[in-house]
Chain A
Amino acid sequence: MSRLIKTIGVAAALIGASVVQAAAEFPEQQITMIVPFGAGGGSDRVARTIDRFWQEETGQSFNFQYQPGASGAVGTDAIARAEPDGYTVGIVNLPNMIVQPVSGSASFALDDFDYIGRVNSDPMVLMVPDGSPFNTLEEFIAAAKEMPNTLTIAITGTFGAGQLAALQMMDAADIEATLVPTQGGANTAARIAGGHVSAGIIGLGLFTNQETGRALAVSSAERSDFAPDVPTFDEQGVTMDMALARVIVAPDGLPEEALTYLRDTLQEVTESQGFIEASREQSLGAVWQDGDALEDAVMSGQEQAARLLRQYGLIE
């Protein structure tokens, strides 16, 4: 008799446990966010902003892990190689992530990832110092044509948004200028402001947050609210759309449930009033793009980037 009761008890417990198991939803533990740059940098701050509003939405916060090195390639690779159980995600820069596999300086490929979504997009501006003789994009291009490779353009880092934007601009306007890579966005801005280069390409956010210089053009499709006086490249006859975007990715092969949860929550966070305003304060546009559209954009972006880089002899 007692044995029977015992057996029923054990069976009940087992059934109960499995029911509880099934009812337990993703996420059951803290999710790790890998940041491929150093603590305190631009990517970190965006990630922290996401974390802040993610906490408001879900009550959960991320466990931050920094993996700096090789302009983000090391950390991005770490994301690709993590367990695809939904408990590891990472914040990545576009177009850096697109270009690194092509350049041979990274060991990941674009299809090693599941794309959660894009959280902001920062168009690039062509900035000149206060004392510059150029007042419009036209003047700049004219001067560049007259003296090929004499004008200098500062850009942030290599294989980043600045470099690709500069290449795109030179290609579209058919000019040649010398690109001068600089470490760190702030230093690029300083270099331009000090007049050590003829001009430079930096993110709109960085430009509007500091007080010097003028912007001759912006790469967004329409004029930006943050700088309504700056004409776009398109309206001045130069086709240019390169932007610096921050996206959240996870290793390829996530379970359906996790992927949906992450995508939905990230979308809510990105479209929330708080996040939009917080981004505004840093002059970043919070522009959501969902995972599938993002994946398409990334794949086609790689072709374009590779073509540009090859054209200018930057990769084989």
Chain B
Amino acid sequence: MSSRQGEESEFYAGLSLVLPDRELRVTQRCLTEDLDGRKDSTLEDVSGRPIVRAFLRERRTKTTGTRQVGQLRSQKEIWVVGQAHRHRGGTWYETARRIVWLVAAGHHESGSKDDFFPYCRQLDEEERLAPSKVDYRALFLAQKERLAARIMIDAPLLRKHAQESEGEVSGEIGGQFGVRVAIEVADEVEEISVAFDLRTLDHPRYLSAILAALEADGEWEPAETMPSRQLEHYESAFCHLGIRE
């Protein structure tokens, strides 16, 4: 994983360039078959290819382009990126995951059997144009690894913030899960209360990971309220009693 100098909010991670508001990612098939990359190559490894440079430049600011690859069996919106006369790439924006995929690359030579546009249609016909299970598996594993790292950093920071504040503090762990934390101290006993916004929850294991990262020793118990208020209808809360060190 590497950051570009002066742009710490974006970084290469495997087959992705992670931007603040989206990921730019190449499919494994496109990497190995169209860009002559190895199976273990990264997007950064092939970032010098003309069409990858165009992809990273154009999709950094816009998720779509001005021209699509037409007549696809799947009717997908595959947007064309181009570099110089010949280099062409096809990108697909997956709105729900905010990922722009580079799904195909080739050369444009009208009338040639190897022309980029019929090549895209052939891939689409063979159901090899869209990201595959292999792509998503690698994507999800990479995202979980980043999430795990964020949980291990964000949760202790949120706890520290709560210890230094009066009343509840709110935060987003991993940039996505809404969490509110309150810490009350009486004598040496410290009670940590945590309310999760369940509307932002993807997986129940995220709750246990975040609670453990807040405090790994002792027991977390379900709570009916936060110290100073009732729970919102979309919240679930837990509390932990311990000795303040």
**Do A and B originate from a single complex?**
no
Q: Which chain A residues have a beta carbon within 8 Å of chain B's beta carbons?
A: none
